[in-house]
Chain A
Amino acid sequence: MTSTVADHHHDEVPKGITRWLFTTNHKDIGTLYLWFAFIMFLVGGAMSLIIRAELFQPGLQIINPHFFNQMTTVHALVMVFGAVMPGFVGFANWQIPMMIGAPDMALPRLNNWSFWLLPFAAALLIISLFVPGGGPAAGWTLYPPLTIQGGMGVDFTIFTVHLLGMSSILGSINIIATILNMRAPGMTLMKMPLFVWTWLITAFLLLAAIPVFAGAVTMLLTDRHFGTAFFDPAGGGDPVLFQHIFWFFGHPEVYILILPAFGVISQVIPTFARKPLFGYTSMVFASAGIAFLSFIVWAHHMYTVGMPLSGELFFMYATMLIAIPTGVKIFNWLATMWRGSMTFETPMLYAIACVALFTVGGLTGLTMSITPADFQYHDTYYIVAHFHYTIFAGSVLGMLAGTYYWLPKWTGYMYDERLGKWHFWLTIIGFNLTFFPQHFLGLAGMPRRIPDYALQFTEFNMVSTVGSFIMGFAQLILLLVVVKAIRGSGARATSEVWDNPEGLEWTLPSPPPYHTFATAPEVK
């Protein structure tokens, strides 16, 4: 890789609020996305603490069941669509142009619009909690006929989904156009950093999945208000049809959440193992394989709806296959660590924890692929534990690894390593205390989405609630770390930041100038 001096001739940074409102700069938009995601992360986290507080002991203490259902629903929607997806788009905005040697995203003004749709969508969702009848309370899966019963909060949610979906689609088109057309000379597809690869694949998943979800909620809307009966059995509709459409979107969606995290991990581990990534080519193919499989396994989320036997068998076999490319990825990361020379700064700690805990989530996922056993696991806390081990331990820990990894590059200052380690250990301990016992609760027979439970579930619920408060409040440390780095209270970061990391972004100064790679670098 060549080292490139940035083009300084028009590097004046706009000032004031208009900088952020009208910006077309990929770094500014990346920053906006990341702050938005972090705020949503705290909002969704606060909701989860309300849920956990109510579940601390049996009986109703704090909130009523209807509000409880709103909390579980909105917590999920906020975390999935407000925190994790925009968070990774933030990473994509900051990193992809710098990693492929492009001056900016291919469509900078569209980029601005993709972001500014989000705050309005989020506001709509939050406002829905305060309208008559309250927010959506049918779970983030929005299954009819229950959703059709809901108040106008459900309509707010449907428009939220439309706006968020539009934002994701525009963002994805932008990312694909950037990656396919804006690479520096010599940056062939198979030389791209893995983070860029996983985002390219994710963007295609988004384009194929989100319009289907938009279609599903649009049909919900017409069922609710315009007399159609797509899903309403009272009018001859089919409620199971919604589940099929939803999960045709929903399963690719979970890989949309996890693939960019895999990309981040594949950048972080080689840097701190001081050894190139093991099996680059197989990583690319494994990601593509996971993406392909994600479209033919959706019905494993709904084995209990009463499918024909042949359907159950097909979805069982297809689901089991996902274990293979996922396993390849885990083993590749292990092989990257093998015979390396590792140090354990905060990003590496998060990356290792991500691989370890995602393995737990992946393996419990394998147990669920076995259809007969899933008839027991389905809709219990075992499922809740499983998907938090994949979405939190996979996506969110991956995002935290990336945050600590690139924060010195973005701000120009090293973060506070001591606070970073505190944040790491409190998060990991809190997370496992919260979610590991939920495996036991689910197996012992506790259904998910209940505000109150039988007495034999008390002990583990108490443990879980204690863990969730540790994990929740630990996230304020991250806020402190980021603010300190932005205000420049740490040591100055060098352009490489770490020990000889791979990638074009490390050839730029820290922080990078406002405009970078105006002249494309040569990649050998």
Chain B
Amino acid sequence: MIFKRLIQPRGVGAALAAGTALWALPMNVQAEWALNLQRPVTEIGRVQYDLHMMILTIITIISLIVFGIMFYSIIRFRKSNGAQPASFTHSTKAEVLWTVIPTLILIAMAVPSTKALLLMEDTTESDMVVKVTGFQWGWHYDYMEEGVNFYSMLATPQSQITGDEAKGEHYLLEVNNHLVLPVGKKVRFLLTAKDVIHAWWVPQFGGKKDAIPGFMNEMWVRADETGTFRGQCAELCGKDHGYMPIVVDVVSEDEFQAWLAEKQKQG
């Protein structure tokens, strides 16, 4: 079961779709002993996941070949077995082969990777914009067109960190104000920072982007399903770098509008 999770190639064909259900089950929650990337919930996340599984499959095969040859040699060509050393020092045929084959594999890998990059960098035709500002140590979210903005900081009590109190289920991955996004909408994020470099990362959304003071970076997210998704700052930003989590609630359009109206009223 664990091994299956590790090598399950995903998204390579309909034949494997059945296996996907099996795999999706344990990875849905943030499991203990998790071996692989978290289950993606965006198109970018899925593309990254498929690329990851493709490369993982390729490197697993390569390493099996390398280790196979190595262990065969170790067992077969040992002096204690009476092996006599050969004296060859090169073989043009072999050397051409192990230069050309890797080149072809690399080209095969480069094509889907290029496509994926084009997809990721396309921030056009977004439905809404959220400006994210990292600071020491928390996040500020600004729904620029809707006129809603708020701070979002760690909600785990200090007593849980010091061990004076039992740690909760979402220890270190809980905040006071969740970022709320509508499901199925292309959200363009503008990222910047107030003091030092931070990086905004929700693993299930696919990838991270640096929030850099003096710069405005872009990324986009379209979540395919509702739910709560958790992440963390991914660039060392000082003392409390480990304590600036991200929590995103993806909700239906109606719920989102209701939430927005509520926030605007408070605002």
Contact = CB atoms under 8 A, between A and B. Distances in A.
A339 B79 CA distance: 10
Contacts of B163: 59-61
Contacts of A324: 99, 102-103, 106
Interface stretch (A160-168, A180-188, A269-277, A470-478): A269-277
Instruction: Tell which of A66, A279, A355 has the most Cβ of chain B within 10 Å.
Output: A279
Interface residues of A, number: 91
B171 A273 contact: no
A282 B98 CA distance: 12
Interface in A373-418: 373, 375-376, 378-380
B266 interface: no
A60 B86 contact: no
A454 interface: yes
B207 A372 contact: yes
B255 to A, nearest CB: 26
Nearest to B30: A456
Nearest to B73: A337
Interface string A406-445: 0000000000000000000000000000000000100111
B78 interface: yes
B212 A372 contact: no
Contacts of B80: 343
Interface stretch (B8-16, B17-25, B115-123, B125-133): B115-123
A320 B109 contact: yes
A330 interface: yes
B173 interface: yes
B66 A359 contact: yes
B51 A372 contact: yes
A354 B117 CA distance: 34
Interface in B157-203: 160-163, 167, 169-173, 195-197, 199, 201, 203
B1 interface: no
A372 B59 contact: no
Contacts of B83: 339-342
Contacts of B109: 320, 370
A306 B238 contact: no
Interface in B213-233: 213-215, 217-218, 230-233
Contacts of B239: 65-66, 69, 137
Given A344-B78, A451-B242, A452-B161, A339 B86 contact: yes
Contacts of A327: 98-99, 102
B216 to A, nearest CB: 9
B206 interface: yes
14 contacts: A58-B172, A69-B238, A237-B214, A312-B117, A313-B117, A334-B69, A335-B94, A340-B86, A341-B85, A360-B63, A375-B120, A444-B31, A454-B171, A455-B32
Given A239-B197, A370-B51, 14 more contacts: A145-B196, A304-B234, A321-B106, A324-B99, A331-B98, A338-B69, A339-B83, A342-B74, A363-B59, A375-B120, A375-B209, A440-B33, A447-B234, A454-B172
State the 10 A-B residue pairs at the shortest beta-carbon distance, nearest first: A375-B207, A233-B214, A450-B242, A372-B116, A444-B34, A363-B59, A306-B217, A339-B86, A445-B203, A341-B85
